[in-house]
């Protein structure tokens, strides 16, 4: 999935259950559940050569900025103090992708992380169909917006 629904899901969980011992594992589990749903993301097509790595990296950076802005608008705006639990929940929501990024984009393999890569790969179901792959993610973002 894109970082937007992953991070918003983690932030949503943390905003409703501010105890780290609860929201941290739930936000992490939600990442894998989200990846289980067939989805499209900016890395789709990199292995087949249909998308250049540099393009995927640039698009991912733009998407992370959008995710940051949406987390702020959905969960931080109107609060005078920083809601650290929300931001940490969002970070945990994208943590498996952050761990995977050096391997996927820069070909930096750290063998001690192989079990995490294998778990992530097991749950990860991409589709090349952009519409079919974005629709569940749009639904997730809309549901979070209305439930927040």
- pLDDT at residue number 49: 63
Element (H, E) at 140: helix 130-147
Q: Which of 8, 28, 15 is nearest to 138 (CA)?
A: 8
pLDDT band at 80 (very low <50, low <70, confident <90, very high): very high
Question: Rounded to whole angstroms, how far apart are CA atoms 1 and 17?
Answer: 23
Tens digit of each residue's pLDDT (9 = 90 or more) over 95-139: 999 998 888 777 888 899 999 999 999 999 988 888 999 999 999
pTM: 0.91
Collapsing DSSP to helix, strand or coil, 29 comes out as helix
Query: Is the predicted pLDDT of residue 67 greater than 90, yes or no?
Result: yes
| Sequence-ordered alpha helix ranges (H) in 1-129 | 3-16, 20-36, 53-71, 84-106, 114-123
- DSSP one-letter code for 130: H
- pLDDT at residue number 20: 97
Q: Where are the domains of the chain?
A: 3-147
Write down the mean pLDDT value for the chain: 92
């Amino acid at each position: 999935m894109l970082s937007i629904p992953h991070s918003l899901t983690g932030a949503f969980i943390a905003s409703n259950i501010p105890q780290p011992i609860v929201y941290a594992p739930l936000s992490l589990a939600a990442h894998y559940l989200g990846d289980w749903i067939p989805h499209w993301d900016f890395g789709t097509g990199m292995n087949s050569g249909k998308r250049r790595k540099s393009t995927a990296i640039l698009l991912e950076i733009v998407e992370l900025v959008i995710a940051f802005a949406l987390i702020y608008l959905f969960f931080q705006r109107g609060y005078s103090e920083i809601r650290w639990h929300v931001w940490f929940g969002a970070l945990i929501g994208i943590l498996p992708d952050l761990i995977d990024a050096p391997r996927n984009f820069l070909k930096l393999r750290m063998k001690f992380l192989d079990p995490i890569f294998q778990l992530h790969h097991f749950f990860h179901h991409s589709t090349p169909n952009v519409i079919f792959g974005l629709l569940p993610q749009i639904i997730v973002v809309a549901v979070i917006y209305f439930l927040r």
